[in-house]
């Protein structure tokens, strides 16, 4: 039995004749599909476009910061550029990135379901996302937005002259798209698991998405109503946060961060799920501490709701409240650390190979570690007085979001690409891109830690001359990073047409999604509903030992 | 006429039970989302009430307790008719179901109608927030407690209009869905194996009622003691 699974297929893999992507080929059959796999592809295309737009704004920022003087654009334009970079990357790339694409594609198959529980709501979620996206483009074309992605009043309500209301509507719609994805995932996980797929046989990717979904459902509506209040204040000139009539702008900050801090866990937990799948596969070892990783996802989701006040240390929040928030923030680092320890322990004495997904996963662990630990520096109240609103915060955030989530997203994309398309991409090119991304990333953002430490404030288009050399380093790193990202569309698209057929299981991975054809048929399981008899990480490391077991 | 459950099970579900359980859990999660949505408003309400107790008491005194109370009764009655509609749908009593839904719709409209007159009177008294807001203590519809400023009172009416407006918006959406359900019921769409839409809408309608049950005391009854 085991010798069969361990021997690679000698016969070349062939593409299945009929699969989810080619059963129907009209544009309408894609735009109004209810198949979770097709919706995942729709999301994949849309978020890639927004990632490119957000990346374009990032390059404009880096070009401006090459010189100490604001000579490439005016201060106003610079405000708009970094705001649009933030709004697009957060609401239209990071939040839907892994859940709406990879999660949408893989989660139902992973638990043995034919689809998500509510296929039409899934489609609605993509349409809401697109509507929001179109509005974001409208904002862009009508002169942009300069409030920062945080929409702080009274600036956003009283003083900003740009498209705040439309931008708020865009974020609102994207928010509800996210809520519906979360709702679908939770019901699917509860009600759609195949026989034998017990809670503790679920892949950790599914656990991570379950935890994420809780945040999406309980957090997102709060920011939705908060942004509605800002829009009302802006349109009718009166409102809840207007200090002129006794309103409290700090209340906005509380309500905003009540969602927006948990939202960073929406942006990282699914990535942790991806890494939990990839590490055991490319180490050929059972995941270490399964239950700990599963429960740490839940712990992050729950404790994550109680830490928002660490964004308000210098906003006149009570020092005692700050102390509690600081303590809780340190607490949320514990489950994150548990995950890192478990991934490391999984690799210990494993048979590690360095395919592209594994390089991204290893990059994730290193960069997330730096991002996480510098988070603790910021969580200490006394430090934060110095670091608040400096490049230290920018670097910390990007280490977690880009070094963490974007790496994890690309890790998952390269891991499941053969499953989604049925084709292999050129391994060498993918490996080179992964290394470029890792190196470029560090060159971009590590100097920003130093800049922040030295006191360079964020959100200014000019700076003192002493900071120039580090900024040049950062911009050069960003070019390498951009090259790494830029390579991917080319070889991935190439693989769609010319790539080797991948076969059902090119990585010899465990888990239900690898037991169905690549690409899967419309209802996922051609042989009917699967019955699950083993856990998703039943990897065996030593070929000889496994063979000797087979001989007995 | 007998109906098998097979015909109503969607392609991706294994059986009727899985489908109904999924639908109900989905609705509960949606309502959890709704609670957090209104929760943001309630949080803002709490913060300002603690900050400006006089403005809140004074503002509350200006609201029409008779109309508000009447509307509370109307909404609670509509919950009764909705609950009995669900029961009729379960039992296959289609005619009673149609009448139950129509009664719910009518009560919903009565609520909105009364709300319209309440808003109108606030408009006439310059109590709608904006450039024309002016609380005239001499001609106020209720007593003035303490010495609230115009701005603080405006804040109260901001929250009053946004909270009740958001609630009314939910009622209007509910009324739209109700009309659709009534049409479906008249076409004989529902039977005891296919009534989930009614059940789920019942969840929603009761939720909207419960929001009002909290809004009424928080807005109308703040200072009506002793």
Element (DSSP H or E) covering residue B215: helix B196-220
| pLDDT tens digits for range A450-507 | 999 999 999 999 999 999 999 999 999 999 999 999 999 999 999 999 999 999 999 9
Minimal C-alpha gap between B49 and chain A (Å): 11
Q: A238 and B159: CB-CB below 8 Å?
A: no
- Pair of tokens at residue A335: 């489950």
Kindly report the nearest CA distance between residue A122 and chain B, in angstroms: 12
Q: Do B129 and A183 touch (CB under 8 A)?
A: no
Q: How many CA atoms lie within 13 A of A511 on its CB side?
A: 30
Q: Chain A partners of B14 at a C-beta cutoff of 8 Å?
A: 529
What are the pLDDT digits (tens) for B140-185? 888 999 999 999 999 999 999 999 999 999 999 999 999 999 999 9
* Portion of chain B with pLDDT greater than 90, in percent: 86
DSSP assignment letter at A402: I
- Upper half-sphere CA count for residue A310 (Cβ side, 13 Å): 28
- Any CB–CB contact under 8 A between A115 and chain B? yes
Q: Residue B3 pLDDT more than 80?
A: no
Please report whether residue A67 resides in a domain: yes
Mean pLDDT of A363-382: 96
Q: How many of the other CB atoms lie within 10 Å of CB of B218? A: 18
Structure tokens at A441: 């990333």
Q: Please check whether residue A149 lies inside any domain of the structure.
A: yes
In-domain check, residue B184: yes
CA distance A114 to chain B (A): 5
> How many other C-beta atoms lie within 10 A of the C-beta of residue A490?
12
Token pair for A251? 């209340």
For residue B78, pLDDT beyond 60: yes
Considering only residues 153 to 172 of chain B, which have any Cβ-Cβ distance to chain A shorter than 8 Å?
154-155, 158-159, 162, 166
Q: Is some CB atom of chain A closer than 8 A to the CB atom of B52? A: yes
Task: Answer whether A124 touches B (CB < 8 Å).
Answer: no
User: According to the model, what pLDDT value does residue A528 have?
Assistant: 87
Number of domains in chain B: 1
**Residue A25 maps to a domain:** no
Average pLDDT, chain B: 93
Phi, psi of B200 (to 5 degrees): -65, -40
**Residue B137 confidence (pLDDT):** 86
Domain tally, chain A: 1
pLDDT at A543: 55
Average pLDDT for A331-349: 96
The predicted structure's pLDDT at residue B139: 85
Contacts of A537 (CB under 8 A, 6+ apart): A280, A286, A287, A290, A510
Query: What does residue A501 show for φ and ψ, rounded to 5 degrees?
Result: -60, 135
Best of A36, A123, A246 to substitute, by most chain B Cβ atoms within 10 angstroms, is A246
Give the CA diameter of chain A.
Answer: 83
Confirm whether A281 is domain-assigned.
Answer: yes
| Residue B145 forms part of a structural domain | no
pLDDT digits (tens, 9 = 90+) for A251-299: 999 999 999 999 999 999 999 999 999 999 999 999 999 999 999 999 9
Question: Tokens for A387?
Answer: 């670091």
Per-residue pLDDT tens digits for A113-164 = 999 999 999 999 999 999 999 999 999 999 899 999 999 999 998 888 889 9
Query: What is the mean pLDDT of the segment spanning B39-52?
Result: 96
B53 at the A interface (CB within 8 A)? no
Q: What is the CATH number of the domain that holds B155?
A: 1.20.120.80
Q: Which residue has the tokens 């709406």?
A: A100
Note whether A255 contacts B43, CB cutoff 8 Å.
yes
Count the Cβ atoms, other than its own, within 10 Å of residue A426.
Answer: 18
ipTM of predicted complex: 0.93
- Substitution target from A177, A221, A227 for chain B, most B beta carbons within 10 A: A221
Q: Are A482 and A62 in contact (CB under 8 A)?
A: no
What helix, strand, coil percent values describe chain A, rounded to 5? 70, 0, 30
Per-residue pLDDT of A412-434, as tens digits, reads: 999 999 999 999 999 999 999 99
How confident is residue A12, by pLDDT bands cut at 50, 70 and 90? confident
Model pLDDT, residue B195: 94
pLDDT for the residue B4: 56
Within-domain flag for A548? no
Is pLDDT of A45 > 70?
yes
Enumerate the residues of chain A whose CB falls inside 8 A of the CB of residue B158. 238-240
pLDDT surpassing 50 at residue A546: no
Confirm whether B30 is domain-assigned: no
Confidence of residue B207 (pLDDT cuts 50, 70, 90): very high
| Average pLDDT for B20-43 | 97
Distance, CA of A455 to CA of A248 (rounded, Å) = 29
| Contact assignment for B44 to A191 by CB distance below 8 Å | no
B158 to chain A: closest CA residue: A239
**Is residue B86 very low, low, confident or very high in pLDDT (cuts 50, 70, 90)?**
very high
Q: Does residue A41 sit at the B interface (CB-CB below 8 Å)? A: no
Contacts of A420 (CB under 8 A, 6+ apart): A37, A40, A41, A105, A518, A519
The C-alpha atoms of residue A205 and residue A202 are separated, in whole angstroms, by: 8
Residue A6 has pLDDT above 60, yes or no: no
In sequence order, the β-bridge partners of residue A390 are A457
**Interface size between A and B, measured as CB pairs under 8 A:** 113
Residue A2, in any domain of the structure: no
Residue A242 in this model has a pLDDT that exceeds 90: no
Give the residue numbers spanning the domain of A280: 34-543
Least confident of A67-76, A127-136, B108-117: A67-76
Is B61 part of a structural domain of the chain? yes
Is B108's pLDDT higher than 80?
yes
| Token pair belonging to A253 | 């900050």
The answer to whether B132 contacts chain A (CB < 8 Å) is no
Question: What is the span of the domain harbouring residue B183?
Answer: 37-130+150-220
Is residue B77 predicted with pLDDT exceeding 70?
A: yes
Does A3 fall in a domain?
no
Whether residue A544 has pLDDT greater than 60: no
Query: Residue A190 above 60 pLDDT?
Result: yes
Q: Give the CATH number, domain containing residue A149.
A: 1.20.210.10
A chain contacts of residue B133, beta-carbon cutoff 8 Å:
238
CA distance B55 to chain A (A): 11
B45 within a domain of the structure (yes/no) = yes
Chain centroid to CA A115: 22
Token pair for B84: 């009995």
pLDDT at A551 (0 to 100): 44
Cα A195 to chain centroid, rounded? 30
Provide the pLDDT confidence category of residue A547 given band limits of 50, 70 and 90: very low
């Amino acid at each position: 039995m085991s010798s069969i699974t361990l021997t690679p297929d000698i016969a070349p893999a062939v593409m299945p004749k009929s699969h989810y992507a080619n059963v129907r080929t009209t544009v309408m059959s894609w735009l109004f599909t209810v198949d979770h796999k097709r919706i995942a592809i729709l999301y994949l295309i849309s978020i890639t476009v927004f990632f490119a737009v957000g990346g374009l704004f990032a390059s404009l920022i880096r070009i401006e910061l090459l010189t100490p003087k604001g000579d490439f654009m005016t201060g106003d334009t610079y405000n708009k550029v970094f705001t649009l970079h933030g709004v697009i990357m957060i609401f239209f790339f990071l939040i839907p990135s892994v859940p709406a694409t990879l999660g949408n594609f893989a989660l139902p198959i992973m638990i043995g379901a034919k689809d998500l529980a509510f296929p039409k709501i899934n489609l609605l979620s993509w349409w809401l996302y697109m509507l929001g996206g179109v509005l974001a483009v409208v904002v862009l074309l009508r002169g942009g937005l300069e409030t920062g992605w945080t929409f702080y009043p009274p600036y956003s309500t009283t003083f900003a002259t740009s498209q705040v209301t439309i931008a708020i509507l865009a974020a609102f719609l994207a928010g509800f798209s996210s809520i519906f994805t979360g709702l679908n995932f939770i019901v699917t996980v509860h009600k759609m698991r195949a026989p034998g797929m017990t809670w503790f046989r679920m892949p950790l990717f599914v656990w991570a998405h379950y935890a994420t979904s809780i945040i999406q459902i309980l957090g997102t509506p709060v920011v939705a109503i908060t942004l509605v209040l800002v829009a009302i204040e802006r349109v009718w000139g009166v409102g809840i946060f207007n200090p002129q009539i006794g309103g409290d702008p700090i209340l906005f900050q509380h309500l905003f961060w009540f969602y927006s801090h948990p939202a960073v866990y929406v942006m990282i937990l699914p990535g942790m799920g991806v890494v939990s799948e990839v590490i055991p596969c490319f180490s050929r070892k059972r995941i270490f501490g399964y239950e700990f990783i599963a429960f740490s996802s839940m712990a992050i989701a729950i404790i994550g709701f109680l830490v928002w006040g660490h964004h308000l240390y210098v906003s006149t929040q009570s020092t005692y409240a700050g102390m509690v928030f600081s303590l809780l923030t340190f607490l949320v680092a514990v489950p994150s650390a548990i995950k890192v320890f478990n991934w490391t322990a999984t690799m210990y004495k494993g048979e590690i190979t360095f395919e592209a997904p594994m390089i991204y996963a290893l990059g994730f662990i290193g960069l997330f570690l730096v991002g996480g630990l510098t988070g603790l520096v910021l969580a200490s109240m006394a430090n934060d007085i110095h670091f608040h609103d400096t490049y230290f915060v920018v670097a910390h955030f990007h280490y977690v979001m880009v070094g963490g989530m974007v790496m994890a997203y690309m890790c998952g994309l390269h891991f499941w690409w053969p499953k989604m398309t049925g084709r292999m991409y050129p391994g060498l090119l993918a490996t080179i891109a992964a290394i470029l991304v890792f190196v470029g990333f560090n060159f971009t953002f590590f100097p920003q830690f130093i800049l922040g430490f030295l006191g360079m404030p964020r959100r200014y288009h000019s700076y003192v001359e002493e900071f120039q050399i580090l900024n040049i380093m950062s911009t050069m790193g960003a070019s390498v990073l951009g090259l790494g990202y830029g390579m991917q569309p080319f070889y991935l698209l190439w693989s769609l047409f010319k790539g080797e057929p991948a076969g059902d299981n090119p990585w010899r991975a465990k888990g239900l999604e690898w037991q169905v054809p690549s690409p899967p048929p419309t209802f996922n399981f051609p042989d009917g509903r699967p019955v699950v008899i083993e856990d998703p990480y039943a990897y065996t490391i030593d070929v000889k030992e496994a063979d000797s077991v087979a001989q007995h | 006429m007998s109906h098998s459950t097979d015909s109503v099970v969607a392609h991706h579900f294994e059986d009727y039970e899985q489908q109904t359980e999924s639908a109900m859990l989905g609705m509960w999660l949606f309502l959890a989302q709704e609670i957090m949505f209104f929760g943001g408003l309630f949080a803002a309400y709490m913060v300002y009430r603690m900050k400006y107790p006089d403005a809140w008491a004074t503002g509350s005194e200006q609201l029409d307790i008779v109309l508000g109370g009447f509307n509370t009764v109307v909404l609670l009655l509509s919950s009764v008719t909705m609950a009995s509609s669900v029961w009729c749908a379960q039992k296959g009593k289609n005619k009673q179901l149609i009448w139950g839904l129509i009664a719910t719709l009518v009560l919903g409209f009565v609520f909105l109608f009364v709300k319209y007159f309440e808003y109108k009177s606030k408009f006439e008294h310059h109590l709608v927030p904006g450039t024309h807001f002016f609380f005239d203590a001499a001609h106020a519809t209720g007593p003035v407690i303490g010495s609230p400023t115009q701005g603080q009172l405006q804040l109260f009416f901001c929250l009053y209009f946004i909270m009740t407006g958001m609630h009314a918006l939910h009622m209007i959406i509910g009324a739209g869905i109700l009309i659709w359900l009534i049409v479906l019921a008249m076409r004989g769409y529902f039977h005891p194996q296919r009534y989930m839409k009614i059940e789920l809408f019942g969840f929603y309608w009761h939720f909207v009622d419960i929001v009002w049950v909290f809004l009424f005391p928080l807005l109308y009854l703040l200072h009506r003691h002793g």
